[in-house]
Each structure stands twice: as structure tokens, then as C-alpha cells.
Amino acid sequence: MATIEDVAKLAGSSRTTVSRVINDQPYVTKDKKEKIMDAMRQLGYVPNSSARRLRSQRTETIAVLLPRITNPFFGHLIEAIEEEASKYGYQVIVCQTHDKKQKELDYLQLLKTKQVDGVVMASFTNDWMEIKPFLDSGPIVLCNEYMDTDQVSMVHIDHRQAAYDATIHLIEQGCQHIAFTSGGQETHISRQRKSGFHQALSEHNLPFYSDSKWTEALDVKDGQKVLEHLKSVHPYIDGIFTGSDEVAAGIVYAAAQGNWRIPEDLAVVGFDNQMLSLLMVPSITTIEQPVEDMARKTIEVLVEKMQSKQPQRHTRFVYPYELLKRNSTDRSSVTQSVH
Amino acid sequence: MATIEDVAKLAGSSRTTVSRVINDQPYVTKDKKEKIMDAMRQLGYVPNSSARRLRSQRTETIAVLLPRITNPFFGHLIEAIEEEASKYGYQVIVCQTHDKKQKELDYLQLLKTKQVDGVVMASFTNDWMEIKPFLDSGPIVLCNEYMDTDQVSMVHIDHRQAAYDATIHLIEQGCQHIAFTSGGQETHISRQRKSGFHQALSEHNLPFYSDSKWTEALDVKDGQKVLEHLKSVHPYIDGIFTGSDEVAAGIVYAAAQGNWRIPEDLAVVGFDNQMLSLLMVPSITTIEQPVEDMARKTIEVLVEKMQSKQPQRHTRFVYPYELLKRNSTDRSSVTQSVH
DNA sequence: TTGTAGGCGTTATCAC
DNA sequence: GTGATAACGCCTACAA
């Protein structure tokens, strides 16, 4: 591989001048500049990025931590993040934590070892106290995940309110026995959702059912299991708020196979407005997050932190969401027939 | 940030010895080693990765080029690739090309500038002659994409045969007027599929229909458009091979809205066995690729190339696929009623 | 067993 | 305008 030195020799000048040309700096005569450009072409010279990194102490790379990329929500998120980051000239490293605390910490090492200039945490399973020390090594922005502190910037929607709205919707549709499912790991988000769910129920003096089977529902398969479990153990349940469209889809699918009527026997709410939720029969009521906007803002905030020297204030950006009412909760006919 | 020098000073030894400790090399007394470890802890020392890269001329990073991560096939692919690469200690950089030739070339620069040790191309829209020169900068492995050469290693299934099988299946189900859709960019894969499709038709003396509207079908929305188009312009079409489950799902969805019966009026085949294809009503006949196996093999091959000094032979790995027959093509009742 | 010194390729500082 | 020279932080002959 040709180095800057080779180019300098061939062009009959010094490394310094070549460097000036590479970086489009002033104070180089047209004549020299052309000679150098020629030499670079001839040698197929390309600046070595490791050397640049060492010299400049920046990597132009960020790490994005997320549970798993095949969850469509995170797929969309990283798609948008990659696009946005690339506009600023940053590479994106994918870090799948699978909700494992250790993996999360391992990937944060990238920040310490200066392999990345900053980190987006869309996976956040450790205690904040474990994460905080990494802030000394570089900026971190929480995306989707959040908590109650002002020691870090965050971009998210109000999951508590979203779950509240969805639950109220179920109640308005006449549901009296409503269940709640969430993914394996207990995160701040799932706590927030549960809290909103509880509030809606208690405001209407409705009972709260709990079953450990409901706290590990992550994907379509889990959704199917949930429905089987409901049918055999809790057949009175007539509404369910799932934290995910995949789980909701699994429930709808299993219901179709097992003669359970949605929404008549069971009204279902998903989360994230994946394509899936629209295509299922019946289509699934869900909550839409402005993923692209959130991704853009996350990168904007992170880039600002990475590029400014002095540590600036941390900010919280709360985005609006939308409850999309679809057929899986449309019990208007059910309610009527009761009267 | 503490450097190796700082540690050395604090521990009262030299950089060399510290480096030995870091890299677990012999010839260090227990005593010194402990002192040095202590010093590292005290200073919170972490080796600087940029320096290491420069010194070792390796980045422990690979780039994965793919069209878009939200296409579930590529989502699964990169999930598996990331996991496998991480076992070998490699980071993964996501590079979405959106099927743009220029983006593809831009990302290949990462290899030239030594930002990555190797590249997986799961997006391949340029001519091979454009790509080939990059091989001088480091190893490249084609995954999913392939072509007729032995200048590069490839991991893929036989798309020609897969399309042939699927088309034969449609014919066996009694379809007489069969259409073919493919994604925007003309790739080697789409040519292969088309060739298999053609062969099946001509073996059965069936006509081949062509319509430019069918060559840009990529996602669910496009599938919906395709069905609308079929209904108004080619209502006689009774079978369709789509290159994608999303397109197939779009067709099924639009059919349900528009009183078109699947499979009675139109039998539909997708590709990739996404969750979606199973969950749709009717469930969609599709072709399953062994994504995880392909990802594993791709990384295995790439790692070997990256780690061995002398350039070795290029190999082609062709994986088996499976045609999953589901309801979207089950016309047994149709066929019977004709008799 | 330990330390010295040079270099990986680049850029910033300073002197000419 | 241009060019030596000294870092950036690490590893590794080689010498002791």
C-alpha cells in the first residue's frame, strides 16, 4: 500500500504538502497540487484510516446497542440511524445485546477503547450505575429507552401514557378483564407501560390479573403460547395489551386456528405499528412511534456531543405517538348485542 | 486517558513489560505483573484501539453491504452475521446501499482505507469489473448474491432452480397464465430466477407474460399495486411468482380487500419464508433459505481469508432451499371442481 | 527477565 | 508557500 511518503517522493515534495492537498488546505500552488494529485492517482493512494484515527483521536464511528435487529422496530431504527449517521460521515457498528447485561457492558467497551466516538443505547438492561462510568469515555444517548435522571440525553415517547391510552381504549370497547404482557427483561419502559396500564384499570375499578407466563412474551411464538394459556387458564380474559405487534400477531394467528374470536372473545392491542399489524386478519390495533424522527434526533444530539469539546447539558426529547384503532379491538357489534 | 507509558511509570517498569502483560506474554515475573495490573486498575487504563490498529495493520472489523436492513431477509442475515463475527472477535459495520451503485462503491472504500479487514457483499448491483479492483485491498465474499466466475468466494442457493421448482408447483396446481415479479434492480439473482421461471413455462408450452409494472415490486405496497394492475389489465393471470414474501403479502392483502380469491382466482408464491408468509390468510407458499447457515459459512470463509497471508482459492458454496407449500397455492379444490 | 529504540501513517507546529 | 520534525499509543526486534 502506498503511503503519504511514497506520494511525496513521486511528486517531489514533502509529506506536509501532500497532507495539505489531501485535506484541501490552502497554501499549495496549483502546480504542486496537480503533481501531487497525479502521483496519488498513479499510486492508487488512499489515506490510511488507522493512522488518521490515531493522529486525530477520532474514529468517525458510533456503536448502536439494541436487543436484536430482527425485531422490526429496531430494524427500522437502525436503518434510519445508519442513514442519518452516514450523512454526518459516521460509520455505524451493530451491537446486538439480546437483552444480556454482560453483552451490553462488553459493547460499551468500544467506547473505552476508543473504537467509537459515541454510543446509542437502544438496549438498556443494566442499572444506570453500571452504565454511568462509561460517560467518562465518550457521549451516550438513550434512544427509545429512558429513565428518570438528567445525567444523559434521551429520545423517546411516553410509554406510560401510551399504555394508558391503549388500555382506556380497551375499556371503552367493553373489555372488563384485561391482561398485560411484556418482554423478558424488566426495563424502565416495561415498568412505565405497566404503570399506565394499572392506572387505567384502577380508574375504572377493574381487576388486575397477573400471571408469570405473560412477562416473557417477545415474539409470534410467544403470542401463540399466550393465547393457549389464556384459553385453558384464563378464559374470562376479554382484552389484552401486548407490548409488541409480533406477540399480538401470534395471538391473532393462534385464535384463528383455535376458534377463538378476535375481537369478540378477546380484543388485542399491539405496539409499534409493524407492517404485520396491518396485514393480519383482523388487523391489529397498535401504537405507532415516529421511529425516523427519533433516529434523526438521536444522531443529531449524539453528533453534537461528539463534536463539541465541552460537555453540554443533557436533554430529554419526548415524541408524540399515535394509537391506531383497528379491527382487533373493534367490539362495537359486541357491545351493541349486549344491550 | 491513560497510556501505556503512564502505566509503566506508575508501576516502575517499561512500556515493553506493560505491553507484555496486556498481551499475556511470557517472561514477566509475577511480582511485576501484579504491580502493573494494579497500576492499570488505578489509572483505568484501556489499550487504545487506534494505536493498535495502526501498529498491527488490522482492524478486527468487517463491513456488510446490503440493500436495506428492514427487508427481513437481510435483517436475519445481518443478525446471524453479527453474532458469528462477534465470536471471532470482529465488529460489524452496516452498509445500506439501497441498491445504488454509487453507495456500493463508496462503502467499498472502507476496504481501501483500511477501515475494515474484509467485506461481505449481500448487495451487488455494479458490474463485476467495477468491484474486482477492490480485491487488491482485502478479501470480499459474496453472500446471497452470486455470478458466474471463480474470482471470488460465494455463498448462496440456486435461485434458478428454486424459481423453476416454484413455477412447476404453480403449473401442477393448474395455473395456465403465470406472471413473474422482481425487484427494481436487475441483478444476477433476478436473472437466474427469471431463467428458471422461463424454463418451467416453456417445458409446459405455457405463454410468458411480461409487463414493466412487474419489474419493480419490492415491498407490500408494490404488491398491492401489482394486484390492482392484474385485476384491471391482466385479469386472466391465475398464478404469480413474486421474488419476495412482502410483495406476495401485499397481493394477498389487496385481494382480500378487493374480492379477489387467493388461490382460486390467483395462486401466489413468495420468497424467503418470512414470518409474514405464514401468518397471512391464506398462508403464503414460499421458498426458505438457510440464512443462518449461509451467514455462518460466509463469516467462516471471510475470516479465513482475512487471517491467512497468502491468497487462497475461491470457493462457491451452494446451499439447499425448501419450497414450502401453503394455502396461497393450494388449488386442489379448484382443480377438482373443473373436472 | 527486562529495557531501549524505532516505526506503523498521519497531521500540527514551527521555522524557513 | 513549503518542508523538517515531533507527536498520536502501541508493539517488537534487539540488546543487555
Contact A70 B82 (CB under 8 A): no
Give residue B205's domain range: 159-288
B59-76 per-position pLDDT tens digit: 999 999 999 999 999 999
Nearest CA in chain B to A106: B86
User: From the list B76, B91, B110, which residue is nearest A70 (CB)?
Assistant: B76
- If one counts the domains in chain A, the total is 2
Does the pTM exceed 0.85? yes
A73-124 per-position pLDDT tens digit: 999 999 999 999 999 999 999 999 998 999 999 999 999 999 999 999 999 9
State the pLDDT at residue B336: 52
Distance from CA of A313 to the nearest CA of B (A): 22
Beta pairing partners, A317: A155
Among all chains, which residue has been given the C-alpha cell 419493480?
A: B216
B76 contacts in A (CB within 8 Å)?
Answer: 70
How many angstroms separate the CA of A53 from the C1' of C6? 21
User: From the list B69, B75, B279, which residue is nearest A276 (CB)?
Assistant: B279
pLDDT band at residue A338 under the 50/70/90 scheme: very low
Whether the pLDDT of residue B35 is over 70: the answer is yes
Among all chains, which residue has been given the C-alpha cell 493512494?
A: A45
Contact of A183 with A242, CB cutoff 8 Å: no
B162 touches chain A (CB under 8 A): no
Q: What is the CATH number of the domain that holds B171?
A: 3.40.50.2300
How many angstroms separate the CA of B47 from the C1' of D13? 22
Whether A277 is covered by a domain: the verdict is yes
Whether B316 is covered by a domain: the verdict is no
Q: What is the CATH number of the domain that holds B51?
A: 1.10.260.40
Distance from CA of B77 to the nearest CA of A (A): 9
A97 touches chain B (CB under 8 A): no
Among all chains, which residue has been given the C-alpha cell 385481494?
A: B255
Whether A184 is covered by a domain: the verdict is yes
Q: What are the backbone dihedrals phi and psi of residue B124, each rounded to the nearest 5 degrees, phi first?
A: -155, 90
Angstrom distance (rounded) from CA A306 to CA A62: 10
Whether A150 is covered by a domain: the verdict is no
pLDDT band at residue A335 under the 50/70/90 scheme: low
Whether A79 is covered by a domain: the verdict is no
Contact of A156 with A318, CB cutoff 8 Å: yes
Least confident window among A61-75, B13-27, B283-297, B323-337: B323-337
Contact A46 B109 (CB under 8 A): yes
Whether B188 is covered by a domain: the verdict is yes
Contact B70 A76 (CB under 8 A): yes
Whether B148 is covered by a domain: the verdict is no
Angle (deg, nearest 10), helices B220-233 and B245-257: 50
CB pairs under 8 A between A and B: 117
A91 touches chain B (CB under 8 A): yes
State the pLDDT at residue B335: 57
State the pLDDT at residue A336: 52
Domain end (from B288, B317, B333): B288
User: From the list B1, B50, B109, which residue is nearest A59 (CB)?
Assistant: B50
Whether the pLDDT of residue A54 is over 50: the answer is yes
B144-169 per-position pLDDT tens digit: 999 999 999 999 999 999 999 999 99
For chain B, what is the mean pLDDT? 93
Domain end (from B264, B288, B312): B288
Which residues are CB-contacts of A84 (< 8 A; sequence separation ≥ 6)?
A: A295, A296, A299, A300
Whether the pLDDT of residue A311 is over 80: the answer is no
Distance from CA of B143 to the nearest CA of A (A): 18
Whether B322 is covered by a domain: the verdict is no
